[in-house]
A and B are shown apart, each in its own frame.
Chain A
Amino acid sequence: MATDHITAARELSQERTRLVRSGLRRRHRNEAIFRGLGIAAIALALGFVALLFVDMTRKGIPAFVQSNLHLEVFFDPAIIDVGPAPVASEFASPAQYQAADLRWRRELALLNWNRILEASLMAKVPAGTEITSRELLSIPETNARHQLREMFVANPDLLGRTIAVDILASANADNWVKGNINRSLGDAQQQLSPAARTVIDAFEADGTLTNGFAWALFTNTDSRAAPASAGLLGAFVGSLYMMLIVIVLAVPIGVAAAIYLEEFAPKSRLTDFIEVNINNLAAVPSIVFGLLGAAVFINYMHLPISAPLVGGLVLTLMTLPTIIIATRGALLGVSPALRQAALGMGASKTQMVFHHVLPVTLPSILTATILGVAHALGETAPLLLIGMKAFVAQVPATPLDQATALPVQIYLWQGNENRNFFEPRTAAAIMVLLGVMIVLNGTAIYLRSRLEKRV
C-alpha cells in the first residue's frame, strides 16, 4: 500500500519535472530567438551603413580618374588675325580701356579656335585614317576651344608659337575609354562614330590620351556644355560661405539665448512658452524653413535670390534650436558647487556665468556646434526653395553672388541626362561630401575627448 503511494508520488513529481523541463526548454529557446533577433537588427542596421559606404565608394572611385589629351598646339597667325591687345596706358579713362579690351576679346571670340584644335589633333591621328572634322572634334571636350582662347588672352605672345597643352577628353570619349559604355553595342546606340572610336583607341595606344587624376572635379565649377570639365569648386565655395554665416550667427546667438533661458530668465509663462517653442522649432521639417526663407528673405526683404547669404540665414535659423538645446543641457550639467563657490567669493551672477560656468561647458558647446554645422552642410531641401539650384558657372566671389551648395550640386548632377558619365561623378561628389562630414564629426569627437580630459 505505502509503496504504491510512494511510486505514484514519484511518478507525479517526475511528470512535473518533465513539464517544467520542457517548459524551460521552450522558454530558453524563446530567449535565444529574442536575442538572435536583437543581433540581427543590429547586424542589419550596421550592414546598411557598410553597404551605403561601399556602394558609393565603388561607384564613385572611377570618377576620380579622367581621360586627358596631350597635344602640341600651334597658335597659327593665319587663323588668329586680330590686332595686338590694347594697353591700359593708351586710354584716357579705365572705362574706355575696358571697352577696347572687350572689343578685342569679342574679335578673338569670333575666331574659329576649333581649327587650331583640329590641326593639333590631326597631327596625332595615325596616317591613313579617314575622319571628318566633326568626328575628330567630338573627342576633346567642347570647352577646349575656350581653354585655348583663354590661354591666348592671358598671354598674347603665344602667337606663332607651338606649346604642349593638356586638354580634357569629352565625356563620351571618357565613357568609351573607361568602358562605362558597352563596347559591343551597335553604332546606332553609341554616342561616338566608328571613326572617332578608332582614333580614340589609337590615341590611347600611342600615349596621346592617358588617364590621370580628375583635378577638374576640384578646380572647376559646374558646366553644362562641357560635362567633362564640370567640377565642385563653385558648390564648395558656396557651402563654405554658408557654413561661415552659420558659425558667425548661430553660435553666438544660440549660446546667448541658452544662457539667458537657463541662467537669467525668470520662471514664468513666457519662459515656458519660449522653451516649448524652441523644442518644436527643432522638430519642424527643414523644408518649412525653406518656405520661410522664400517668403521673408526673398519675397519680402528682396535679398538676392540664390545667394549664399540667404542660404546661410535659413540654415542659421534651422541650426539655432539644436545649439540652444545642447547648450542648455551643458549648462544644466555644471555642478552647483561651482556656482555657489563663485557666488560665495563675491562674483555677480553675470560674472559667475561668464567666468566660471561657461568655460566648463565649452567642450559640449563646441561639439554641438560642429554637429549642427555638419547637419546644416548636408541640408538640401530648404536651399532648393530659395533658388540655390540655379546653374552657376562662376565661383561666387562674395556671399551675395549666385551660388549653389555641395548637396544641391549632387541633386543637380543626379538628374543629368548623360547618366553614364554623371552617375560616377555624383557618387564622387557624395564621397567628397561624406568625407567633409566625417572630418567634421571626427573633429567633434576628438575635441570633446581632449577638452573634457583637461577640464
Chain B
Amino acid sequence: MNTLAVAGLLLVLLGLSYQTGWSRSRALVTTGGQKVHSRPQYHGAYTALWTMIPTLLVLLLWAWLGGEITHNYIVSQIPTDVLQSLDQAGLNATIERIRAIASGFGVADDVAPFEQTAGENLRNFQMLTNIGVLLVAALCGGAALLYARKRITARLRARNAVERVINIVLLLCSAVAILTTLGIVTSLLTEALRFFTFIHPFDFFFGTVWAPNNAPGSGNYGRYGLLPLLAGTLMITAIAMLVAVPLGLMAAIYLSQYAPRRLRSIAKPLIEVLAGIPTIVFGFFALVTVGPFLRDFGRLVGLNINATSALTAGIVMGIMIIPFVSSLSDDILNQVPRTLRDGSYGLGATQSETIRKVLLPAALPGIVGAFLLAVSRAIGETMIVVLAAGNAPVLRGNPFEPVATITVSIVNQLTGDTDFSGPQSLVGFALGLTLFVITLGLNIFALYIVRRFREQYE
C-alpha cells in the first residue's frame, strides 16, 4: 500500500476533524452564546479521536489480512495445470515473478503469456483494492466525524472523555512493565521445561560435569552439570566483593564523613564515571592489561597465575562494582540519625571510633542489603567474564586457574543460534532461569532489608 497516500489521508482526516470540533465548539459560544462545558481544544481532540480510531482500525485490518488476500488472488490467477506442476519453491518464485511484472520492474527472461495477464490483472487488482481500502477508511472516518460533530453540544463533557482515553493509554504503558516480566518468566520457563525433557533436572542441577556435545544431529547430547558453572560464578563474585566492598565502603565513609566539600564534589562524579563505562571495555582492559600484569606479578612472587583466570575477572568486576557499593553505602550512612553521632562525640569518641562503633553497626542492615544488590549484579555480569575468565567449565577451587560462569555458558550455547530444537541451545534458557531466580531472590531479600532499615529510622 502506498505509504504516502495513507499518511496523507491520516493527516488530512486529523486536521479536518480537529478543526471541525474546534470551530463547532466556538460556534456554540459565539452564535449561540451558550456556556460550554469544555474548552474548544477538547472538542477538537474529541472529534479527532472519534475520527481516527475507526480509520486506523480499517487500515490495521487491511494490513493484517491484505497480504493473505493478495496472495490468494495471485494464486487464483495461475492456470490450474501450471499450478499443479509447481512445488512450493516454484510457486513462490512464480508469485514473485508476477509481482515483479505488476510493479513494472519486469523480469529478465521471457514472460509466459499467463504471467503477463496475471501481472496485468494483479496491477489492476492492487490499484482497485488500494483505492477501495483508502475509500472505506476515509468513509468510516468521515461518518465518525459527522457523528462526533452532531454530538457536540454545550453540555457534552468532551474534556472528561478525552481524559479517559489519555488515562487508558497511560495504563497500557504501565502494563508494558508487567508484560516484560511475564514474557521473561514464560519464555524462560517454557524453554527450560523443553530442555528438561532432554536432560533430567537432577542431572542438570546436581551434575558436576559440564561437557555439552555441540555437534548437532547425534543422539549424544553431552553432559550438562550446573555445579562447575555455579562454582565459577560464586568464586568470581566472591573475589569481586573482596575488592569492591572494602574499597567502596571506605570511599563512601571518607567522602561522606571526612572529605571537604570541594573534594567530595569532584571525587564523587569521577567515581561514578566507573559506573558509566561499558562492561565490554572493562573486559578488554582485563584481557590485555590486568591479566598479563597479574601473570607477570605471579611469576615474580613464584605463583602460577593464568592471564585469563577467576582472579583477573574478579578483580576487574570488583572495580566495576565500586561505584555501585559506594553510592548505596553513602545513601545509607546519610540516613543514620545525627543524634547518634552527636551522642558518641559527646562521650569523647574520636571520629573513626564513632564511625566504627556507632555509625556502622546502626547502618549494618542497610549496608548488608546494598552488598546483596552488588552480589546480584556481579552474578549477572557477562562481558568481563566472557573475555577475561578463560572459559574452563571445570570444578576446582584455584582462583588462579580459568573458570566459566553461568552467563558465559549462556553466551557460548546461544549466540545467534535460533534453532531451539536440541538441548545444546535450550540449556541457555535453563541457565537463564537459574540466573533469574538467584538474582530475583537476592534482590527481593535485599530490597526488603533496605526498606526495613529505612522504616527503622523514619
A92/B352 in contact, CB under 8 A: no
Residues of A within 8 A of B166 (CB): 350
B414-440 contacts to A, CB under 8 A, are: 414-416, 418, 420, 428-429, 432, 435-436, 439-440
A48, A55, A59, A379: the one within 8 Å of B278 (CB): A379
| With contact pairs A92-B106, A281-B181 given, residues A296 and B418 touching in the complex (Cβ less than 8 Å) | no
A321 touches B177 (CB 8 A): yes
Closest-CB distance, A340 to chain B (whole angstroms): 19
Task: Please tell me if the beta carbons of A93 and B106 are within 8 angstroms of each other in the complex.
Answer: yes
Q: Mark A287-307, 1 if CB is under 8 A from B, else 0.
A: 111011011101110000110
- The segment from B8-16, B23-31, B247-255, B390-398 found at the interface with A is B247-255
Residue among A253, A264, A381, A387 making CB contact with B382, cutoff 8 Å: A381
Chain B interface secondary structure, helix, strand, loop or mixed?
Answer: helix
How many residues does chain A have at the interface if contact means C-beta atoms less than 8 Å apart? 98
Q: Which of A28, A35, A254, A287 contacts B407 (CB 8 A)?
A: A287
Contact of A35 among B183, B352, B382 (CB under 8 A): B352
Q: Which of B170, B280, B356 contacts A256 (CB 8 A)?
A: B170
A68 within 8 A of partner (CB)? no
A188 at the interface (CB under 8 A from B): no
Q: Is B211 an interface residue (CB 8 A)?
A: no
The residues of B that contact A92 with a CB separation of less than 8 Å are: 106
Closest B residue by C-beta to A379: B278
Q: Is the CB of A380 within 8 A of B171?
A: no
User: Per-residue CB proximity of A364-396 to B under 8 Å, as 1/0?
Assistant: 000000010011011111001111111000000
Q: Does B139 contact A (CB under 8 A)?
A: no
Inter-chain contact B352/A34, CB cutoff 8 Å = yes
Identity of the chain A residue whose Cβ is nearest the Cβ of B417 in the assembled complex:
A387
C-alpha spacing A414/B418, complex, angstroms: 24
Of residues B170, B414, B443, which shows the largest number of chain A Cβ atoms within 10 Å of its Cβ? B170
Does B89 reach chain A (CB closer than 8 Å)? Answer: no
Smallest CB separation, A449 vs chain B (Å): 12
A257-B188 CB under 8 A given contacts A41-B250, A410-B284, A437-B277: no
**Which residues of the partner chain A approach B163 to less than 8 Å between Cβ atoms?**
348-350
B351 at the interface (CB under 8 A from A): yes
Given A381-B411, A437-B276: A285 and B382 within 8 A (CB)?
yes
- Residue interface mask A40-60, B partner, CB < 8 A = 1: 111011101101100110010
* Contact between A49 and B274, CB atoms less than 8 A apart: yes
Interface of A is mostly: helix
Enumerate chain B residues within 8 angstroms of A34, measured Cβ to Cβ.
352, 355-356
Distance between A249 CB and nearest chain B CB, rounded to angstroms: 9
- Are A375 and B276 in contact, with the CB atoms below 8 A? yes
Question: What is the CA–CA distance of A34 and B249 in the complex, to the nearest angstrom?
Answer: 12
Q: Mark B181-217, 1 if CB is under 8 A from A, else 0.
A: 1011001101100000000000000000000000000
Stretch at the interface among A94-102, A138-146, A171-179, A214-222: A94-102
**B250 to chain A: which residues have CB within 8 Å?**
37-38, 40-42
Q: Across the interface, do B380 and A35 meet the contact criterion of CB distance under 8 Å?
A: no
Bound CA span A299–B108, Å: 36
Contacts of A320 in B (CB 8 A): 176-177, 180
Q: Is A41 a contact partner of B277 (Cβ separation < 8 A)?
A: no
Contact of B415 among A317, A375, A385 (CB under 8 A): A385
The residue among A42, A260, A386 with the most chain B CB atoms within 10 A of its own CB is A42
User: Quick check: A41 and B251 within 8 Å, CB to CB?
Assistant: yes
Contact A261 B174 (CB under 8 A): yes
CA distance A39 to B171 in the complex (A): 49
Q: Which A residues lie within 8 Å of B380 (CB)?
A: 284-288
Given contacts A41-B247, A46-B271, contact A295 B281 (CB under 8 A): no
User: Which of the 9-residue segments B55-63, B125-133, B218-226, B371-379 touches chain A?
Assistant: B371-379
Would A45 and B271 be within 8 Å (CB), given that A294-B418, A385-B415 are in contact? yes
Least Cβ–Cβ distance between A52 and chain B, in angstroms: 5
Chain A positions within 8 Å of B253 at CB level? 38
Distance of A300 Cα from B190 Cα, bound (Å): 12
Residue of B nearest to A411 (CB): B280
Bound CA–CA A30/B382 (angstroms): 40
Asked if A389 meets B174 with Cβ closer than 8 Å, knowing A42-B251, A95-B105, A96-B106, the reply is no
Stretch at the interface among B67-75, B144-152, B285-293, B305-313: B285-293
CB distance from B334 to the nearest CB of A (A): 16
Q: Is the CB of B254 within 8 A of A42?
A: yes
Name the distance in Å between A387's Cβ and chain B's nearest Cβ: 4
The complex places the Cα of A108 from the Cα of B100 at a distance, in Å, of: 27
Q: Does B447 contact A (CB under 8 A)?
A: yes
Answer whether A265 and B174 are a contact pair too, CB < 8 Å, given A56-B285, A94-B106.
Answer: yes
Q: A283-B439, A298-B418, A385-B414 are in contact. Are A288 and B188 (CB under 8 A)?
A: yes
B148, chain A: closest CB distance, angstroms: 20
The answer to whether A288 touches B271, judged by C-beta atoms less than 8 angstroms apart, is no
Asked if A285 and B281 make an inter-chain contact with CB atoms under 8 angstroms apart, the answer reads: no
A430 at the interface (CB under 8 A from B): yes
**Cβ distance A450 to chain B, nearest Cβ, rounded Å:** 17
Q: Which one of A111-119, A152-160, A272-280 is at the interface? A: A272-280
Complex Cα distance, B270 from A44, in Å, reads: 12
Task: Annotate A337-369 by CB proximity to B: 1 below 8 A, 0 otherwise.
Answer: 000000000001110000000000000000000
Q: A: which residues have CB within 8 A of B? A: 27-28, 30-31, 34-35, 37-42, 44-46, 48-49, 51-52, 55-56, 59, 92-96, 98-99, 252-254, 256-261, 264-265, 274, 276-281, 283-289, 291-292, 294-296, 298-300, 305-306, 317, 320-321, 324, 348-350, 371, 374-375, 377-381, 384-390, 407, 410-411, 414, 423, 426-427, 430, 433-434, 437, 441
4 closest cross-chain pairs (CB), A and B: A285-B380, A93-B106, A378-B278, A38-B254
Q: Provide a sorted-by-A list of 9 A–B residue pairs whose CB atoms are within 8 angstroms.
A: A45-B271, A96-B106, A252-B173, A258-B174, A283-B377, A285-B381, A291-B414, A295-B191, A381-B383
| A48-B322, A285-B407, A287-B411 known, 4 other contacts, Cβ within 8 Å | A45-B322, A256-B170, A350-B163, A411-B383
